[in-house]
Amino acid sequence: MLDWKSEYGQIEAQANVFASFLLMPLDDFRAQINGQKPTMELMRHLKNRYQVSLSAAILKWLNITEKRAMIVIGKEGFIDWAWSSGPLLKSGVFYRARQDVVELPSASLAARRDAAIDNIAGMTHPKGVWPNNEEVQEMMVLSRDGEITTSLLIYPDDPPLRFSPEEEEPELMDTYSKFALSN
């Protein structure tokens, strides 16, 4: 599993996908989430219903949702791995945590581990805490031993524009106009 590009890694990934469809049938899974707001309570319900890990339930949800969302698994103050939903990935938001060493954002619930905050209900972070400079809702669960954090990040449905409408794009000149002006 250390090298997902290896033949063994690919077989393992295929086995995981097969197991997710076997343990969490798609029609029933969709019925469970239909019209539900994505919350850690919903993910726990899915975990309990299908008798799978919390991360497996979240990953299944991420694979079928139209929401811009991400799971981030933290360990010892760093991102161990992360997975973005398709819509979030299309807007360019993801981590390469297995390739790069990435520290958990210091203002995140995962890094703070503050017992005074309802981590399961979560909080909305201002722009700049998580990637893409957007407000992000974070819900977080600590493992029983307190070593691993599981964060569910929910981004706004609409990604920000890549450039500001106030910024004018430079006017492009065609070859004919350029030639005509130089004469």
What is the full DSSP assignment across 60-120?
Answer: HHHHH--S-EEEEEEETTEEEEEEE-HHHHHTT----TTTS--BPPTTSHHHH--TTS-TT
The better pLDDT of the pair 40, 2 is held by: 40
Is pLDDT at 175 greater than 70 in this prediction?
Answer: no
In this predicted structure, the answer to whether residue 115 has a pLDDT above a threshold of 50 is yes
| Choice between 86 and 145, residue whose per-residue pLDDT is larger | 86
Per-residue pLDDT, 166 = 52
Confidence (pLDDT) at 3: 54
The pLDDT, as a whole number, for residue 33 is 95
The residue-averaged pLDDT of 46-73 equals 95
pTM metric for this prediction? 0.80
